[in-house]
Structure 1
Amino acid sequence: MRREFSWPKLLTESGRGLAFGGDYNPDQWPEEVWDEDIELMKRAHVNTVALAIFSWSKIQPSEHTWDFGWLDRIIAKLGAAGIAVDLASATAAAPLWLYEQHPEVLPIDRYGHVINPGSRQSWSPTSPVFKEYALAMCRKLAERYGNNSTVTAWHMGNEYGWNNRCDYSDNAQNAFRAWCQRKYGDIDALNDAWGTAFWSQRVTSFGEVIVPRHMGGDAMANPAQQLDFERFGNDMLLDFYKAERDAIAEICPDKPFTTNFMVSTDQCCMDYARWSDEVDFVSNDHYFHEGESHLDELACSDALMNGLAQGKPWYVMEHSTSAVQWKPLNARKRGGELMRDAIAHVAFGADAINFFQWRQSRSGAEAFHSAMLPHAGADSTVYREVCELGETLETLAAAGLQGAEVERSSTAILFHAESEWATRCQTLPSMQLSHWHDVRDWYRAFLDAGQRADVVPLRDDWSDYSTIVLPTVLSLSRDDTQRVADFAKAGGRVIVNYATGLIDESFRVGLGGYPGAGDGLLRDMFGVRSEEFNITSTLSPADAICPIADADEAAPDIDPAYVCLSNGSISQLWQNVVTAVADDAKVVATYEGDEAEAWEIGGVPAITIHPYGQGKAVYVGCDLSREGVAALLADPALFGGQQESQGESQQESQRESNHLIHTRRRSGHTVFDFYLNRDATPSVVPELSGDVVLAYRTSGNPNVGGRYILQRNGLLVTRTVTRTAA
């Protein structure tokens, strides 16, 4: 059951508007600074702040001492200024006195080392002692602020799992045993699922189940046990979140609850599809990836957020105005990126844009993390850009954007947290697999092909899409394999790649050849059978191209680091050795050239297409570069010859559109179109309809026969009313 969607109100007369603000930590500053903060917030059009996220020690300086006076005063000041408060449970970082009195609440790492206090989340989610203290804090806050009109939402914890995702303490082991008993019911079912006949790992009772601690040397954990431990860690933190939420809800049930996910394509540590069931509105912390992937990565992460929100508006709880401080090298945002990134989030369904944090810290671990009000103060480029963004969000809200839902693409890339966990296993043919990175690369390839895909959790309903893509969805249950097959039978197009469907949910390999998911159903659906994996080196440059072999040239005397395909693509990591293809399957590309011959796969099918029911199944039996995937997506042999039937102007429009990200949000008869420039060079926006709501870093004059040109970091938002007169 999914909780009913509920969105926090602002302190405007209507309660509506796009939320704008950030984490506010007034307890880091003397009270004489607070009035200046609020005056500068008003100037920047800030209308909401997240408060007290790391304030436990300030609120409860000792076990039997509580101090709410400072919190009462700042909430009153914010409310008087029309700034709503998203009040935290304050439990993300416990005070040092609690650790001193109860060191047993500390988590243990896989090597048996205590995770010491002094940072964040230095507590075990399975510790009954810690839970008792945390829930006492939740109840105190609910009793004091549950009826406070300035507090319009509850912010539970903070980035659950950041430092305690995996706990190997005795509490965790006992909880893991209970979790396994609930899941499997009897010990024979567990032994079967884990394949414990291997290496004499059979257990005779749930009391013998252990967590997969470090076992010495290069010892390898049972992969099925490890995958269950990942699920358990997710569930323990989710249970802890629900306990905190419910402690407040018993006292204050009428305000929405959320917690901030951590979704970017370098992290997605929880099964957020399950977490999204338990919040009233979905929230995320997203920090940019510097370099050429900056905007594309943001778009891919946001596409998943929109999928997790199931089309409802979602909340950017944290992102950065400029540089962070936690990477080896921390790049700043350049001109226009602050605005462009924020509006990009809005383009993908966010109705709240918030930063970490309001005032840049003077001391502590995040002193050099950028903020809305930087060390340089209000007379700074960053603060002026923050003010500009606040005004822009008010303009979009006034145009009626709030609540508009993102229009679906025709293609869904399926994301599966458990497959991402499985790709980290040390016992796979290659340890360079990453399901989430492959989702990102396929997403970017669709953009390169002038298309846009959605990113949807595997567990959700994707039956209304015309195409689904499963990139390295390593683990497929029998039920999910059947869902994929039913989708194709009903007329859908299914695309899988080389490492999809190799194991089931218990990390058991399907027999009879690869891909074996669904007891061979996936293999039958694609009409291919492979017997082995050819793993090549990845030492070749990323931009390697297939050379034209000289007839007199001697064969290389070392194993080549890549393999060429007959369609001009290149594979640098993994090639499935396909030994059988169904009679009604079409081979689109094979491996060819000296490199293929050296690996003894010359002429072996690499890409095939197979009719299945009313649909088709496309099999990509090797890793492809982004460019290779984009070329594949444009191949009329696979996608119905759409390009061949296009007129010249349509083809030109498609070539132009691959420089842009275009999304559409719709509310009733009102449509908002967002165009964002992906390139460092100017890009032309195709012909528009409707009224321009926002033109940022643009040139050109459409009113005299021209078209908008988006400069670097440029964007355009238009509004069209589609209602026609009766």
Structure 2
Amino acid sequence: MAARRSFTWPALLTSDGRGIAFGGDYNPDQWSDDMVDEDIRLMHKAHVNTVALAIFSWDKIEPREGEFTFDWLDQIIGKLGEAGIAVDLASATASAPMWLYAKHPEVLPQDKYGHTVNPGSRQSWQPTSPVFKEYALTLCRKLAEHYKNNPYVTAWHMGNEYGWNNRYDYSDNALNAFRVWCEAKYGDIEALNAAWGTAFWSQHVNDFSEVLLPRHMGGDAMVNPAQQLDYERFGNDMLLDFYKAERDAIAEICPDKPFTTNFMVSTDQCCMDYAKWANEVDFVSNDHYFHEGESHLDELLCSDALMDSLSLGKPWYVMEHSTSAVQWKPLNTRKRHGELMRDALAHVAMGADAINFFQWRQSSSGAEAFHSAMVPHAGEDSKIFRGVCELGEALHTLSEAGLQGAELEHADTAILFSAESEWATRSQTLPSMQLGHWHDVRDWYRGLLDAGHRADVVPLAYDWSGYRTIILPTMLILFDQDAQRIADFAQAGGTVIVGYATGIIDENFRVGLGGYPGAGQGLLRDMLGVRSEEFNILGREAEGESHEIRLTNGNVSRLWQNDVTSLASDATVIAAYVGAEAADWELDGVPAITSHPYGAGTAIYVGCDMDRQGIALLAGALGFKTGDPRIVHTVRRTADGTGFDCYLNRGKQPATLPNIDGEPIIAYRCGSGSVSGEYVLQSNSILITKRVE
């Protein structure tokens, strides 16, 4: 892992600076001046103790070029601070003022078709534009000079959701920066040609000045996948460089307050390589918006499991989530009774020490007017605001009980995640366009929950050597050194579970030869004791053909089956393909899931896609430690050994918890059972107890 900034948590304005942070984005510039006093009254009522301020306020801070006005912001920060509400102050650079775009239209990004991305939304600027960077860093320095000694500003919030609208820029500035990036990475142009496989389709370049961006090439043309993968890496690095430039401009003037920026991690989005970004913040923070439907809670827990790993087990910050519906999805479902509280406390159960929403007061105009907020359009006398107050009271109770600072205990299983493999699964040059690494991580996470087993989600680049079991679902890309780390883990006694589309290509999108999986110059094949020659891809598009194949263990595969043609003599077949459909595809009796001893450990090969039921079935067959699949149980533990046990009901039916030790701190939608120490958890419930050991 790369060097990492020291963990520093932002202080509250409490007597000791401690407590669980609670609040949200505050945008008083959308309202009349007299609304601030009313907002502070309601914030007190709801136990709000922090707000993120000025995220989209550049045009009010600098209404005309070179004119900086801080009086209005001083007044608001002063009122908030005097009321005991800390400020996480933004650099305000997420959206530039319209006068800047009018004067410098050259800062606008371009899409892959060469069209200018017009202003009017968020982040309509090029990360590589020197003109835009000059304006942005000037604003950062002005803010730092003005607020460096303000005691009410306790943290800096850099930008906002970097990459939301400018993750992919195809401008000439981006082209020039990409060429510089490629030269820095490869040094020699022939090293780039070798990495990109430019011998195919006559793509050889003689100099870095000939390197191009993967712009639109017409029709159904396919981009060189190695070039596209490097472009993904470049886009991540350019935005990270921009963040660091903003951070460092403020840190030179105001070095003693912690810095963060809000990641965007949910299992429907994870656009940046946050394993790299996490090294550059003082505390990790995330914007998480729930997934509609029955996966709601499981998806939240899976995303949070990755957040806990990104924070290296230290508490982390929910910078944004929603009190109810949003307005930007195809289906904008609201939260049912209890889900506002349950979701927020589920984040706490997974290691969060800050619970914040977008936003404090629901907008009456603009693009997000129908995005729910802490104070809805209906006002103070509303179900949502009463729920916010109830949540604020619960978080205050947990703060008083000493939960803040407690760290989440790790599971014994790690599902590994790689942003690069997620990017790779989007390539249109793969055997199937339906692969999704991050979605496969989520499916494994949920399948293990169905077996009563909670896993952690850990970046591949991090240290996972302390786990008993690691799982690699659709980890398309494996560097040679990562293949070696995986083999060493098994050699030392660990269990490795390798998915059907794992280790097929290396970091340059080059296919490993000799049979699949080819990662590590065949090391992965040796560890697994299998060799596959072809992929069998299914789909309903092929009329009259079988679109699923059964396995001998009762599982069904519907997307991808590896045709295993060689099996080590000491390998064991856990399940094979069977039935008429398998025979039709010449797979009847072919191993689908195998186990192979390797050193002191075991390597499990899952040669086909599996649904949640199949994953749960396999977990049971492999002897995973299991519990009640209806209940998720996490433990957060303080430095002195005090444990906070958190129990969540995953389903809609009541679930009984017997023999619960400890003092109940939060018993939301929970009732006492028929015997002492027994609790009945209703739907959308959470129980948090405290054990002093």
Q: Which residue of 2 aligns with 1:452?
A: 454
Per-residue displacement from partner, 1:429-488 (whole Å, max 9, x unpaired)?
000000000000000011000110000000011111000000000000000000000000
Deviation at 1:705, TM superposition (A): 3.6
Q: Which residue of 2 aligns with 1:520?
A: 522
Q: Which residue of 2 aligns with 1:666?
A: 637
Distance 2:35 2:687 in 1: 38
**Aligned partner (choices 386, 389, 406) of residue 388 of structure 2:** 386
Q: Is the 8 A contact 1:491 1:615 kept in 2?
A: yes
**Aligned partner (choices 585, 597, 601) of residue 611 of structure 1:** 597
Per-residue displacement from partner, 1:173-223 (whole Å, max 9, x unpaired)?
000000000000101111110000000101111111010000000000100
**Letter aligned with residue 615 of structure 2:** V
Deviation at 1:539, TM superposition (A): 6.9
Runs of 5+ consecutive residues of structure 1 not aligned to the other structure = 541-556, 644-653
**Aligned partner (choices 429, 433, 436) of residue 435 of structure 2:** 433
Distance 1:226 1:26 in 2: 42
Q: Which residue of 1 aligns with 2:608?
A: 622
Runs of 5+ consecutive residues of structure 2 not aligned to the other structure = none
Q: Which residue of 2 aligns with 1:646?
A: none
Distance 1:377 1:626 in 2: 42
**Aligned partner (choices 311, 317, 326) of residue 319 of structure 2:** 317
Distance 2:437 2:544 in 1: 30
Q: Is the 8 A contact 1:559 1:599 kept in 2?
A: no
Deviation at 1:328, TM superposition (A): 1.8
Distance 2:272 2:432 in 1: 23
Q: Which residue of 2 aligns with 1:688?
A: 660
**Aligned partner (choices 350, 367, 370) of residue 368 of structure 1:** 370
Q: Which residue of 1 aligns with 2:569?
A: 583
Distance 1:679 1:357 in 2: 29
Q: Which residue of 1 aligns with 2:187?
A: 185
Q: Which residue of 1 aligns with 2:579?
A: 593
Partner-residue secondary structure (3-state), 1:238 = helix
Q: Which residue of 2 aligns with 1:291?
A: 293
Q: Is the 8 A contact 2:284 2:311 kept in 1?
A: yes
Q: Is the 8 A contact 2:661 2:677 kept in 1?
A: no
Q: Is the 8 A contact 1:53 1:91 kept in 2?
A: yes
Q: Which residue of 2 aligns with 1:546?
A: none
Kindly indicate whether residue 271 of structure 2 is the aligned counterpart of residue 247 of structure 1.
no
Q: Pairwise mapping of residues 485-564 of structure 1 onto structure 2 (< 5 A)?
A: 485-538=487-540, 558-564=544-550
**Letter aligned with residue 295 of structure 1:** L
Partner-residue secondary structure (3-state), 1:634 = helix
Q: Which residue of 1 aligns with 2:682?
A: 711
Distance 2:500 2:658 in 1: 36
Deviation at 1:519, TM superposition (A): 0.4
Kindly indicate whether residue 213 of structure 2 is the aligned counterpart of residue 211 of structure 1.
yes
Deviation at 1:122, TM superposition (A): 0.2
Q: Which residue of 2 aligns with 1:676?
A: 648
Deviation at 1:269, TM superposition (A): 0.1
Deviation at 1:700, TM superposition (A): 2.4
Partner-residue secondary structure (3-state), 2:165 = coil
**Aligned partner (choices 159, 162, 167) of residue 161 of structure 2:** 159
Deviation at 1:290, TM superposition (A): 1.3
Q: Which residue of 2 aligns with 1:419?
A: 421
Q: Which residue of 1 aligns with 2:360?
A: 358
Q: Which residue of 1 aligns with 2:101?
A: 99
**Letter aligned with residue 665 of structure 1:** R
Q: Is the 8 A contact 1:538 1:562 kept in 2?
A: no
Provide the aligned length of Structure 1 versus Structure 2.
Answer: 690
Normalising by structure 2, we get a TM-score of: 0.99
Deviation at 1:286, TM superposition (A): 0.2
**Letter aligned with residue 617 of structure 2:** A
Q: Is the 8 A contact 1:56 1:93 kept in 2?
A: yes
Per-residue displacement from partner, 1:630-675 (whole Å, max 9, x unpaired)?
001001xx33xx78xxxxxxxxxx56x2001111001122000000
Deviation at 1:707, TM superposition (A): 1.7
* Runs of 4+ that moved beyond 3 A: none
Q: Is the 8 A contact 2:632 2:649 kept in 1?
A: yes
Distance 1:572 1:435 in 2: 16
Root mean square deviation of aligned Cα = 1.1
Q: Which residue of 2 aligns with 1:551?
A: none
Distance 2:147 2:676 in 1: 58
Q: Is the 8 A contact 1:538 1:572 kept in 2?
A: no
Q: Which residue of 1 aligns with 2:265?
A: 263
Deviation at 1:686, TM superposition (A): 3.6
Q: Which residue of 1 aligns with 2:173?
A: 171
Q: Which residue of 1 aligns with 2:672?
A: 700
Deviation at 1:600, TM superposition (A): 1.2
Partner-residue secondary structure (3-state), 2:298 = helix
Q: Is the 8 A contact 1:529 1:580 kept in 2?
A: yes
Deviation at 1:371, TM superposition (A): 0.3
Q: Is the 8 A contact 1:485 1:522 kept in 2?
A: yes
**Letter aligned with residue 106 of structure 1:** L
**Letter aligned with residue 628 of structure 1:** G
Deviation at 1:684, TM superposition (A): 1.4
Deviation at 1:331, TM superposition (A): 0.6
Q: Is the 8 A contact 1:17 1:397 kept in 2?
A: yes
**Letter aligned with residue 210 of structure 1:** L
Q: 1:699 to 1:538 in 2, by over 3 A?
A: farther
Distance 1:682 1:527 in 2: 45
Distance 1:69 1:708 in 2: 54
Q: Is the 8 A contact 2:659 2:676 kept in 1?
A: no
**Letter aligned with residue 40 of structure 1:** L
Partner-residue secondary structure (3-state), 1:672 = strand
The range that moved more, 582-591 or 693-702, is 693-702
Deviation at 1:706, TM superposition (A): 6.3
Deviation at 1:294, TM superposition (A): 0.2
Distance 1:159 1:281 in 2: 15
Per-residue displacement from partner, 1:466-521 (whole Å, max 9, x unpaired)?
00000000000000000000000000000011000000000000000000000000
Distance 2:658 2:229 in 1: 47
**Aligned partner (choices 339, 342, 351) of residue 341 of structure 2:** 339
Partner-residue secondary structure (3-state), 2:34 = helix
Q: Is the 8 A contact 1:467 1:493 kept in 2?
A: yes
Distance 2:273 2:313 in 1: 18
Q: Is the 8 A contact 2:656 2:673 kept in 1?
A: no
Q: Which residue of 1 aligns with 2:24?
A: 22
